[in-house]
Chain A
Amino acid sequence: DSGVTQTPKHLITATGQRVTLRCSPRSGDLSVYWYQQSLDQGLQFLIQYYNGEERAKGNILERFSAQQFPDLHSELNLSSLELGDSALYFCASSGTSERGNDEQYFGPGTRLTVT
């Protein structure tokens, strides 16, 4: 158990709909990252938040947005869903270790199926 929680575990929805994925980081971690993993694309970085502020953006579509709240949990909003959005969505968190390597700890993921 990494200490990162994600809800829901599974989500099945129709094209055109909007969903919200939720992530709670490990206690004390200020950084939250979102990744998308589909069969043909591997693990793709979407966006990073640090202590409530957006820090970096990756291959995130304009239909997707995220935020990090004062209690440090984060939500990823996916709208106008398409079949190609079906994937595993992972949240990861990191702090700062003594070595400065601050490895990322991944949550169990949310499996999104768009039908």
Chain B
Amino acid sequence: GQNIDQPTEMTATEGAIVQINCTYQTSGFNGLFWYQQHAGEAPTFLSYNVLDGLEEKGRFSSFLSRSKGYSYLLLKELQMKDSASYLCAVRVAGSARQLTFGSGTQLTVLP
């Protein structure tokens, strides 16, 4: 089975930088995804890592260390609209492509 851990809540100030960590334990790792979800809305894809290292996409970056079972999502120049839940999800190897999601980190951006 898979086990995914992320902090439940985080608070940061508008314009600042925040790092949301995710640790996982899984057999047959085949990719890690980050999704953003506003309350009552659908999750939207942010980033994907399958190899070690940093993937940058505008204000958002995601890092992966497979040997440590660790990832983080870095959000720069925070805006009020970034207040949302951030979901870490792991895909395992195999023909099925389903994801196992963490419980999410609720980020609140304060003015």
A: which residues have CB within 8 A of B?
A: 2, 31, 33, 35, 42-45, 48, 55-56, 58, 88, 90, 94, 99, 101-109, 111
Contact A2 B48 (CB under 8 A): no
Residue of B nearest to A104 (CB): B99
Complex alpha-carbon distance, A82 and B42, angstroms: 24
Q: List 23 A-B contacts (CB under 8 A).
A: A2-B44, A33-B98, A33-B99, A42-B101, A42-B102, A42-B103, A43-B101, A45-B99, A48-B96, A48-B97, A48-B98, A56-B96, A88-B40, A99-B48, A101-B31, A101-B48, A101-B50, A103-B33, A104-B33, A106-B43, A106-B44, A109-B41, A109-B42
Partner of B42, one of A45, A55, A90: A90
B: which residues have CB within 8 A of A?
A: 31, 33, 40-45, 48, 50, 87, 95-104
